[in-house]
Each structure stands twice: as structure tokens, then as C-alpha cells.
Amino acid sequence: MGFWETTKIVLMKEDEEARDYARRLQRLLDQAPGPELEQELDWIAERIAVGQEIKKELEKTELDGVMLKEVALHYSGGAVTLDSYLILPKVNVLVTYGESDLKKALERSRAQMQAMQELRLRKAGWLRRWSMKLYFQEFFKPLAVVDNEVEIPKEHEGLVVSVDQLSDRLKELNRKSSARSLPRKELEKEAQRILNAGLENAAYYEARFREIMSSFEGREGR
């Protein structure tokens, strides 16, 4: 970074699919109020809010960074959504959120890491594959974000963080990484590579919406 340059956070993908899903739920709820719809709308509203908080925490690090919200990737286990992908100068962080159950959050976090590793290994030559397998966990870190009130078990302290501690954890991960620090343009190139490889996350919400509609139609038929 030059002497006169300031740090900058670039948001290269918003959570448009989540917001569209929230609007669809609200329209349905206006037509036919019900506890299932209210619960689902509360869930997606909280998910959107947490995504906004994560961006604020990223800005507090005073590091250069790029953020992608909700990118779906194919992998051997099917498809998984990167809730937030944070690309920092020395480390890339795959952030999971929106799960009230810690076990499920950690399972999704592991799936995200597997999907990212498979993506990096795809079409790579033998030398790059060897290097990526060896150093993958040095460059990519999983992190499940939970509410501030959630008690984090000691055995999961390195994998789970409360929202209000996220900026400190991100700075720590970046500082401790042995990777060389990349300029902002390189961070944006990495983000674009992920966007090019990613899928529209609309399928995830479409499946949830169909499930809600099925429940709603079943209730109407009774």
C-alpha cells in the first residue's frame, strides 16, 4: 500500500437472493398470516442483519479486504453456500452464520472448506495440487459466527466467534498467517475468480420457499 493510500473494504457481491426471498415471504405473509411464515421471515431477516454486522466488523479491522455475500459452490457433497467470503491481504476467511445449532454451524463450515479446496484443486497441475493440499489451511480459515450471548465451548474457540469479537479475530488471523501480503487488486481478482466459479444462490432459497409453500398448501387443504 502506498504512503497516501487508505484501507478499503470492497463489497463485490450483495445478498440479493436473501433479500428477494424476504420480500416473497412478506408478500405471502400479508396474504395468509401464519406462525411458520413468521418464523421463516424472522430467520431470513436475522441472516441479512448478521451479514451487515459482519461487513461492519470487517471495516473495523482497518485492513484492505473484499467481501462476497452468499456465493454457492458445487462440490462432491452437492452444493454449499459461502455465507460470507472475506478476502484479506494474507488470509481468506469463510464465514458461516445463520445457524442456531452450533453443531450444524460447524458442519456447514467444514462443507464450505471442502468445497473451496475442491474448487482450488480443480484443473490444477500436479505441483499446484500438492502445494494447495499442503498449505490450504494456511491460506483459508473457517469461522462460524454466533450471537454474542452464545457460550462457546473451549474445544471450538478457534472455529467459532461471537459477532462483537469478529474484527479482532480477523486481524489476528491475518497477522498470524505466514502468507505474503497481497495488494488490493489481487484481492479483487481472487473475489472475481470465486464469482466466476460460483452459482446463483437462488436455488437454495427456492427450495426453502417450496417447502414453506407445501406446508402452507397443506394447511389450506385441511
The pLDDT tens digits for 124-152 are 787 877 887 788 888 999 999 988 777 88
In the chain, pLDDT over 90 holds for what percent of residues? 56
Q: Which of 214, 99, 218 is nearest to 147 (CA)?
A: 99
pLDDT reading at 156 higher than 90: no
- pLDDT (0 to 100) of residue 204: 80
- pLDDT (0 to 100) of residue 126: 79
Q: Could you give the number of structural domains in the chain?
A: 1
Cell representation of residue 102: 452450533
210 is a domain residue:
yes
3 is a domain residue:
no
2 is a domain residue:
no
1 is a domain residue:
no
4 is a domain residue:
no
- pLDDT (0 to 100) of residue 66: 97
Q: Which of 40, 30, 117 is nearest to 73 (CA)?
A: 117
189 is a domain residue:
yes
- pLDDT (0 to 100) of residue 100: 77
- pLDDT band at 3, cuts 50/70/90? very low
**DSSP for 26-65, written as a single string:** HHHHHHS--HHHHHHHHHHHHHHHHHHHHHHHHHHTTS-E
- Residue that is written with C-alpha cell 457433497 in the block: 77
Q: Which of 21, 86, 16 is nearest to 58 (CA)?
A: 86
196 is a domain residue:
yes
Q: Average pLDDT for residues 150-162, to the nearest whole number?
A: 87
Could you tell me the residue range of the domain that residue 104 belongs to? 9-221
Question: What's this model's pTM, rounded to 2 decimal places?
Answer: 0.88
